[in-house]
Amino acid sequence: MSHPALASGRTAIVTGGASGIGRAAAAALAARGMALAVIDVPGPTLDAAVAELAAAGAKVLALPLDVSDRSALEAASARIAAELPPATVVMNNAGRSEASSCLGDPGAFDRILATNMWGVIHGTQVFAPLLLAHGEPGVIVNTGSKQGITTPPGNPAYNVSKSAVKTFTEALAHELRNREGCRVSAHLLIPGWVHTGLTARQGQPKPDGAWTPEQTVDFFLESLARGDFYILCPDNQTPRALDEKRMAWAVGDIIENRPALSRWHADWAQPFADHLAKG
């Protein structure tokens, strides 16, 4: 069983589609008979991914561009409309990360937000009209992060970007479901620990605790078939129950008026441990 938007003979648009979760999603959608518009920065990684997908029989349009460039996305949208079947899937998955600090280099915020936040906003606003035009079932899937929910210390620019993706996608889902006659829905993909280029150095073996991109995509597609909005992925180290407790504690900081990020505050280490130990 799969979501009706994942229809053979229709097109899936995948940003960040040259590697990691995006690459695995593109392959899975192609296996369902979908044509692909694969968007990623120019380079050999994109070339290799597109060649491999085409060799497996997929109809693929490679679109080398930076998702922070709205005009480039608009030009891509025109090509997709002209060269591929009607689009029913948009997956705004392109992402980046680098070291950042609240009081450090502002350029880190500029670069991360340009891709992780503006790439999602641009991708949604530019490609949504392709899905809305024909009236068929469609999905817009935006890749968030658990770091956008629990916001651990260490990389505030990345956390801010993924918090923004969560907020934007929730608002998008509300707008779409209240749009008369709309058959397009929005979904937030929240990966667990996935062995990709963002989480591991090139060539490193997969840690036992991490999932592969393919495992993540399998879980994502099963969740999408159920109609889940929050696609909260576990991994081999963190089950859903642990994610739920961590997220409940994060919201509890506000409700209980605890210090910000109390989970990492020395005075709250034992209460947090007690919280995790509860059944």
Q: Distance between CA atoms of 207 and 200, rounded to whole angstroms?
A: 9
Tokens linked to 6? 């994942």
Domain that holds residue 61: 11-237
Q: What is the pLDDT of residues 160-214, one digit of tens each?
A: 999 999 999 999 999 999 999 999 999 999 999 999 876 766 668 999 999 999 9
Q: How many domains does the chain have?
A: 2
End-to-end CA gap in the chain: 34
- DSSP string for residues in 81-145: HHHSSPEEEEEE---------TTS-HHHHHHHHHHHTHHHHHHHHHHHHHHHTT-S-EEEEEE--
Q: What is the pLDDT of residue 201?
A: 63
Contact present, 84 and 38 (Cβ < 8 Å): no
**pTM, whole model, 2 decimals?**
0.96
Q: What is the pLDDT of residue 215?
A: 98
Options 14, 35, 119, 158, the catalytic residue: 158
Residue 232: inside a domain, yes or no?
yes
User: Does one domain contain both 88 and 212?
Assistant: yes
158 is catalytic: yes
User: Does one domain contain both 62 and 106?
Assistant: yes
User: Does one domain contain both 143 and 259?
Assistant: no
User: Does one domain contain both 231 and 270?
Assistant: no
Residues in the chain where the model's pLDDT stays below 70: 198, 200-203
CATH number at residue 162: 3.40.50.720
User: Does one domain contain both 277 and 186?
Assistant: no
